[in-house]
Chain A
């Protein structure tokens, strides 16, 4: 039986008078690949921020892999095995593509306090593997800030993967990508999920991506989970149609 990897209970967060996360209960089992959908401002990114330590919740509990991580610092949570990619790609713009990913490899390998070995001789092979996995093997020496939007997204995915996570959060992983790139990236995510049993939670605006690549879909609206279930269940639900899908063409 699959093991619970993430368990969120009674999570609340407000900024001023606005409740951005309201009594959220949520569970993920190892190896699942789920999507969070919801209109803009539904609280999807805040939810990720709460789970990864960027914001501290007002109340509630987050248990990851058997350990309480509520309110822990981002670097601690990252060390424990949660990686994330941001909605607006978050990279090291003036380092090369290779250096970007290598930094993550070094951090994962715990060599970042090493002051006397050459950085360009540690973890290069592994770094190149992540680059080729994410379709960037042809561009190791390019300056990250000069990449196209799609390539920046891929780069961030490579950085996130280099952290060897057990749980991966992807905030709109295909934003800014062409159709082909979207397909390629989501297929990669599927493969990681299938072959490495990597647990993935992603947000996405493109409903075809959501319905083709998630085993389970969660609808967030005004900080609350309205419904969760299989893609079909969610697609056919009336409330969902009213709140969200009505605005979009499927």
Chain B
């Protein structure tokens, strides 16, 4: 008797076991994690800093995908919680240092811890209204709230520094070294990603998928759809806040644009590039997006044009993202090798998916 519901009557072989039912997220995350350990070995600080950016924005995009890929709603305002997390940390940071003294390690960690709850409270408040709607209306409302919060932060000089933002967020001396900050970030991002991974595979995670697939049916299972949407929205906001908290000390400053819709767009782009149907999709997307940006902006100012073209191509020709392409190839090959039918629907198809309904 198979202990695990899904691996019964499957071909054996380590590859098949590794890829499970075609969910390549596990192996992909594992490879990325191992690769991530060696990034600071590249000469120069530049690539290490790019690595930190990949990690933080990757976490941000993964938190976005809890709402998009798993719950099936698109948020255009997710950066609001990234920004709230960043400001939560930055404001406490400023209070500790008065803009002049050095921050101690304890104070620094406390400031970091302040970010996620601020973001979570913001997400709870915004989500309370947004989960009443779905689809395009949900998307528009998240956009509106995101811009609203942006303007609050933008205009509230006395508290947030307005459009000047908050500067001089110098981490404690030991963390100023790129390599050290990189491993510090890697640790936190890994822990956060692990928690999200657990959540997506839990019964709660399957309620998210169920709501994505069929809200009506989910309701008739006895599940309060709005409440579960709100809980997930808040969790996603909290994880975006973790990413935001790490961002300020990394760039030494925060500004209101961190809450803006362009920033939300980054999470969406990364998710589309990597593949929204995969837990690992946004992480892969973050690598591609950030590297590409670092590379392209080296010789042209037309980065928005470049990324625009890439997104159009992905949406048209690879709606499942990069992992979707890899996954389909892999499954085709395994099938060819006599692995038996194991084509997987949920993770293998794009969230846009029009294959069945």
Interface of A toward B, CB cutoff 8 Å: 52, 54, 73-76, 78-79, 83-84, 86, 90-96, 98-99, 102-104, 106-108, 111-122, 124, 127, 140-141, 143, 145-146, 159, 163
Alpha-carbon separation in the docked complex, A103 to B346 (Å): 14
Q: Which parts of B1-47 form the interface with A (CB within 8 Å)?
A: 3-6, 8-10, 21
Find chain B residues with CB under 8 A from A79 CB. 222
Find chain A residues with CB under 8 A from B342 CB. 141
Find chain B residues with CB under 8 A from A86 CB. 217
- Rounded to whole Å, the gap between the CB of B36 and the closest CB of chain A is 24
Alpha-carbon separation in the docked complex, A119 to B210 (Å): 13
Alpha-carbon separation in the docked complex, A98 to B228 (Å): 22
Find chain A residues with CB under 8 A from B190 CB. none
Instruction: Return the contact of A92 from the options B3, B203, B214 (Cβ within 8 A).
Output: B214
Q: Are A112 and B220 in contact (CB under 8 A)?
A: no
Find chain B residues with CB under 8 A from A121 CB. 3-4
Q: Are A104 and B206 in contact (CB under 8 A)?
A: no
Q: 10 shortest A-B CB distances, which residue pairs?
A: A145-B356, A143-B345, A78-B222, A92-B213, A79-B222, A107-B221, A115-B204, A93-B356, A106-B203, A74-B219
Q: A78-B219, A116-B198, A145-B356 are in contact. Are A111 and B21 (CB under 8 A)?
A: no
Q: Are A95 and B345 in contact (CB under 8 A)?
A: yes
Find chain B residues with CB under 8 A from A84 CB. 220
Residue of A102, A111, A118, A127 ringed by the most chain B CB atoms within 10 A: A118
Q: A75-B222, A91-B217, A116-B199 are in contact. Are A96 and B210 (CB under 8 A)?
A: no
Q: A90-B217, A94-B346, A112-B228 are in contact. Are A141 and B9 (CB under 8 A)?
A: yes
Q: A92-B209, A102-B206, A119-B206 are in contact. Are A112 and B345 (CB under 8 A)?
A: no
Q: Are B6 and A119 in contact (CB under 8 A)?
A: no
| Residue B98, interface by CB 8 Å | no
Q: Are B222 and A91 in contact (CB under 8 A)?
A: no
Find chain A residues with CB under 8 A from B231 CB. 113
Q: Are A114 and B203 in contact (CB under 8 A)?
A: yes
- Rounded to whole Å, the gap between the CB of A69 and the closest CB of chain B is 13
Instruction: Return the contact of A112 from the options B207, B346, B353 (Cβ within 8 A).
Output: B207
Residue of A nearest to B346 (CB): A94
- Rounded to whole Å, the gap between the CB of B69 and the closest CB of chain A is 12
Instruction: Return the contact of B345 from the options A114, A145, A159 (Cβ within 8 A).
Output: A145
Find chain A residues with CB under 8 A from B210 CB. 92, 95, 103
Instruction: Return the contact of B8 from the options A95, A119, A141 (Cβ within 8 A).
Output: A141
Find chain B residues with CB under 8 A from A95 CB. 206, 209-210, 213, 345-346
Residue of A103, A121, A124 ringed by the most chain B CB atoms within 10 A: A103
- Inter-chain pairs besides A75-B222, A94-B349, A95-B209, 20 sampled, C-beta below 8 Å: A92-B210, A93-B356, A93-B357, A94-B356, A102-B5, A103-B210, A106-B203, A116-B199, A117-B203, A118-B201, A119-B203, A119-B206, A122-B203, A127-B5, A140-B6, A141-B8, A141-B9, A143-B345, A145-B345, A159-B221
Q: Are A98 and B357 in contact (CB under 8 A)?
A: no
Against A, the Cβ 8 Å flags (1 = close, 0 = not) of B132-167 are 000000000000000000000000000000000000
Against A, the Cβ 8 Å flags (1 = close, 0 = not) of B182-219 are 00000000000000001101111111011001101111
- Rounded to whole Å, the gap between the CB of A109 and the closest CB of chain B is 9
Q: Are B221 and A78 in contact (CB under 8 A)?
A: yes
Residue of A52, A94, A95, A121 ringed by the most chain B CB atoms within 10 A: A94
Q: Are B5 and A111 in contact (CB under 8 A)?
A: no
Instruction: Return the contact of A143 from the options B201, B219, B222, B356 (Cβ within 8 A).
Output: B356
Find chain B residues with CB under 8 A from A108 CB. 221-222
Q: Are B203 and A94 in contact (CB under 8 A)?
A: no
- Rounded to whole Å, the gap between the CB of A129 and the closest CB of chain B is 13
Find chain B residues with CB under 8 A from A104 CB. 221
Q: Are A118 and B202 in contact (CB under 8 A)?
A: yes
Alpha-carbon separation in the docked complex, A84 to B346 (Å): 25
Instruction: Return the contact of B204 from the options A54, A76, A112, A145 (Cβ within 8 A).
Output: A112
Residue of B198, B201, B210, B216 ringed by the most chain A CB atoms within 10 A: B210
| Residue B105, interface by CB 8 Å | no
Residue of A nearest to B10 (CB): A141
Chosen A-B contacts, 16 in total, with CB atoms closer than 8 Å, are A84-B220, A92-B213, A94-B356, A96-B346, A98-B6, A103-B218, A108-B221, A115-B199, A116-B198, A117-B202, A117-B203, A120-B6, A124-B5, A141-B6, A141-B9, A163-B221
Instruction: Return the contact of B216 from the options A90, A102, A112, A122 (Cβ within 8 A).
Output: A90
| Residue B224, interface by CB 8 Å | yes
| Residue B223, interface by CB 8 Å | yes
